[in-house]
Each structure stands twice: as structure tokens, then as C-alpha cells.
A and B are shown apart, each in its own frame.
Chain A
Amino acid sequence: MQTANYKMSELLQIVKDKLEAKFGDALLSAELLYDFPVFILKKEIVKDALIFLKEDTDLNFHFLTTMCGLHQPDETEDKEFGLMYQLHNMPKNYRIRIKTFMLKSDLNMPTISDIYPTAGWMERQEYDFFGFNFIGHKNLSRILNMDEMNYFPMRKEYPLEDLGRNDKSDKMFGR
């Protein structure tokens, strides 16, 4: 197995060039955050980009490390919700992160569980906590929370504790 003997900035440049050639200005930004090249893409092309990155013979990102949702109500409206995908090419030890942002009114996203079967439960988890609607997912139902729940608990507006409780006072220390 090869260890990380390439420079992260080189990988950033290679992937950036390929994405730019293929998708043009749908690549919104490419930067190095700590030891990770991060690419922000337009929502519409994310799935195509993931397929492209997986099928590219040189890059071949065959492994989906993780994905997660993001809710940032303080950002502008078109950046309120976000999704992050982390891809990995194990033999070459390439790792990148793909991010995309969307409006609250349009949380539809094509599923990637057909390219990466491992995304099946990850997408169910993000649906469960944020309410993303993954189109084409075979069984998009709640996974960790109970089925009867009618809200998405990881959104920032939901408080950590039940506001109806009056047996706790944390005025001094805050929570």
C-alpha cells in the first residue's frame, strides 16, 4: 500500500483541471482545507461528477468514506442546506471532499446509492436528521429515530432539550 507521498496541492490541481474541463463553471470553488482538497459543486451536477470521478481511470474514487448533511441558517438562503461527500481512492491514497449547497425549499437530491451501495444507510441517516429527499432511493425511511417523529432533529432550530421542562435551570452556565 502506498502512503501519502504526493502533495495535496497537486491532487487539488489535477482534480480541479478535470472537473473544470468536464463541467465548466458548475465547479464553484476548489481549495485546500487542512489536508483535504475540497470542491464545491452546483447541486445539479453532483451525481454526474461523482460518476465521472469514480469512472475516471486515473482518479478512480471507488470508495465513499462518508457523507453528511449540514444546516446553516445564518448563511444566505441558497446556502442554507448542504451535503458533503468524502471520496477515497485506496491504492493511490487520494482523498477529496465534495460539497454542495441548496435552498430549504428544494431539498431534493438524486440518490447515489446506485453508484455506492454504502450510501444506502448514510442517505437514510441524513434524511432522518435533516430531511433531504434522495430521489430514487429504494427505502428512504427513518433509521435511527422512531418512525412517528414529525420533525428533523439536526436542523438548528430544534433545541437540544424539550422546552416544556421546568425541572432544570441552567441560566448560569447556559447550554
Chain B
Amino acid sequence: MTAPNNTYDEKNYSTLNLGPTHPATHGIFQNVLTMDGEMIVDAVSTVGYIHRAFEKLAEHRPYNQITTITDRLNYCSSPINNMGWHMTVEKLIGAEIPKRAQYMRVIIMELSRIADHIVCDTVIAVDTGAMTGFLHLFQYREWIYEIFEEICGARLTTNIGRIGGMERDFSPKAWAKIDHFMKNFPKGLKEFQALVDRNRIFMDRTINVGPITAEKALNFGFTGPNLRAAGVDYDVRVANPYSSYEDFKFDIPVGTNGDTYDRYSVRMEEMWQSYSIIEQAIKNMPDGAFHADLPEFYLPEKQDVYSKMEALIYHFKIVMGETEVPKGEVYHAVEGGNGELGFYLISDGGRTPFRLHFRRPCFIYYQAYPEMIKGSMLSDAILTMSSMNVIAGELDA
């Protein structure tokens, strides 16, 4: 990589290596900063430290094995990535998913959005010196992870859901855990907001830190909470509804300045909106099947595999990845924790995708980071990065 020029304006600047492994960057990011005292004059970012060749890997895996790759994109909200991938394949094969499965997906996606935003917002508070809120709110994130564990058996890399629906219905114990979370979460979030939202130190550290205008944000491909903080009300859930989002009533919070405080506030309000979506989904949960009738893609009941010939054949074909997939080219986007997470899939009818491209919101908006921190203090650059919620897994694919 090229080191920035550090002798312009007839001044002698110092070069500082922020990262790749730095406790304050919350991930593997390297930024070579040119500093004038404590002021950042220039910055060059290097990415790719945890690149795992997901697009290449995906060209060599059957469709149902790609879900585990998507887990590892934005690992703070894996279920959203999983669902996005399932929905992409369902769009390709033209599958109709029962309402109940769609509502179950909405519950899981909104829970993971809350978990994602908890990480981001509490870490902004940690970077301003408020550790208490972080430790307090992580209890609620733990409860969300317990719900995931009850539904799919995993916590972080969930591999939740299947092509065609959900792998199983929510058990009574899972419903009890969801109810427990729903009963306690508002109180916890209110306590956190009381600690942080109007805190003088927090406001002084975040207002007008790392601002970006709406126009610039659009030019740099921002989506999700970071774009909404700049004042653009774009949300994939409203613009191109998927998984029955059109049935739910919710607001899109927007900010004005696109600074760190706005990004924090937009995420905070989105948690309340997600909470309300989950409430509506639980209240209106339709009866019916939790998966579509898709024998070629959806694993049959184990009991049937032992007793029915068709089920055994389909079981074998799915496990060996020999399912027939139509030729086609689809793009499907979901509103991930950080913005529009898109899957561009080309199928040539073979057992693996011909090409799979992930539109990873982090990768696209992180290129604006050097622009955003130029002229600011080093400690503000740390805050700007944590408020953008850059996740190394999604950035580097």
C-alpha cells in the first residue's frame, strides 16, 4: 500500500498507523493517518485482512450450503443475511412461502436488527467512556441470542431458516423466551436512553462529529441507518417489501446532519420500531404451515425418509446438492443491519450458482471514511468509525 505523503504545505506531519489490530477499531481495519498534532490531515484505508473469498466459495457450493457463508458476512445480524439468501433462491425458483413462515422470519429478522443496533449504539457509548450502558444492554442481546439458540441451535453464526420456510416451528419454550424478552426490553432500553441520550458528555462528543451531507452520502452509496441519519428516508423494507413487510406499520426514523449523534439516534429509534414490528407479528401471527411444499429443496421429515421412497430420494438429492435449479438471473435485497444487503445470483442450471455477488453495504460506505475524518481529531475518528458500524466480516467478504 502507498504511504501518504507527509511533507506537503511545508510542514512536517507525523504518520500514525491506526490498526490493523487496534482495540478501539472493533475489528481488523487499518488506516494510515497523516497527523498534524492531534488533527488528521490525510487518511488511507487498507481493507481485506479477513478476506475469505466468499464469492469464489459460493460458486463451488450447492444452494443450501451457501447459507453458512452468509452467516459470516455481518455476523452481528446473521439471521437477516440467512433470510436474504433464502429469499433470493425462492425468488429464483418462484416459490410461494406461507404467511406464517414469513411472519416468523420477520420476528427473527427484527430481533437480530435489535441485536445489531444494540452492539453499535452501546459501542458508541463505550468509545465516549460510558461502559455501564454497554454492560447493561448486552443482557438483552444475550436474551435475543438465547431465542436464536432455542429456534435453531446456534447463537452467532445461526444458519437459521431453510429454502422454503423455517426448519421448525417455534417451540413453546422459544415463545416463552420471546415473551420474556418483549416484556423486559422496553424497560432496559429506556434505562439506557436515560443514561446516554441527553448526557452532556455524550452529546458534546458526538454532535457534529463525522458529519456527512445527504448528497455526499448518496454519492458514496450509503444505505441503511447511516443514510437515514443524513436525512434520506430510504428503507428496503418499505421501498421493495419482502416477507410481508407491507403488512406492518412502522416509521422510518431520519436524522438531519448525518453526524455521529444522528446515527446513534436513528439506530435507537429503529430498535423501537423493530420492537413494534415484532409486537404486531406476534399479535397477528397466522396459522398454517411453517414451510412451503417444496420437496426438491426442503428436507423431508426424518420419519418419512425411513418409510417413504420419494422422501428418501429427495433427502439424498438435497444432501448431495443434486437439486434441479432453473436458469436465471435475480437480484434480491433485504434491509440488513447496515443497509441494503443485496444478492445478485446467476444460475446456469447447475448444482452451484454460476455467479453470486454480494452487495455488502459496509464495503461500499466504508470508502467514505477517510473523507469523513479529514480535519477531525483522532478520538473523533474512532467515534465516527464505531457509529458507522463497520463490520469486518461484511467489509472483507
Contact = CB atoms under 8 A, between A and B. Distances in A.
Interface of A: 1, 3-4, 33-36, 38, 62-66, 68, 70, 72, 84, 86, 90, 93, 97, 116-118, 120-122, 125, 129, 139, 141-147, 153-154, 158, 160, 173, 175
Interface stretch (B150-158, B287-295, B324-332, B378-386): B324-332
A86 B252 contact: no
B282 interface: no
Interface of B: 1-2, 47-48, 51, 53, 55-57, 59-60, 91-92, 218-221, 232-235, 238-241, 246, 252, 320, 328-331, 333, 340, 342, 344, 346, 354-355, 357, 359, 363-364, 366-367, 396-397
A90 B396 contact: no
Contacts of A34: 91-92, 328-331
B193 to A, nearest CB: 27
B367 A66 contact: no
Nearest to B49: A144
A66 B397 contact: no
Contacts of B56: 153-154, 158, 160
B330 A93 contact: no
B364 A122 contact: yes
Contacts of A3: 238-241, 246
B232 A117 contact: no
A118 B219 contact: yes
A43 B92 CA distance: 28
Contact of B364 (A4, A118, A142): A118
Given A122-B364, A175-B60, A63 B329 contact: no
A134 B236 CA distance: 30
Given A1-B238, A63-B221, A90 B367 contact: no
Contact of A68 (B59, B220, B240, B344): B344
A143 B244 CA distance: 38
B269 to A, nearest CB: 16
22 contacts: A1-B233, A1-B235, A4-B240, A33-B329, A34-B330, A34-B331, A65-B342, A66-B344, A66-B359, A70-B346, A72-B354, A84-B344, A90-B234, A93-B239, A93-B240, A97-B331, A116-B219, A118-B220, A139-B2, A141-B1, A153-B53, A158-B56
Contacts of A90: 218, 232, 234, 239
Given A1-B238, A90-B239, A160-B56, A144 B342 contact: no
A70 B60 contact: no
Contacts of A62: 218
A1 B329 CA distance: 27
Nearest to B342: A66
Contacts of A65: 221, 333, 340, 342, 359
A27 to B, nearest CB: 18
A90 B233 CA distance: 9
A84 B357 CA distance: 11
A66 B355 CA distance: 15
A116 B239 CA distance: 22
Nearest to A68: B357
Nearest to B52: A144
A142 B344 CA distance: 22
A33 B241 contact: no
A120 B367 contact: yes
B344 A143 contact: no
A70 B330 CA distance: 14
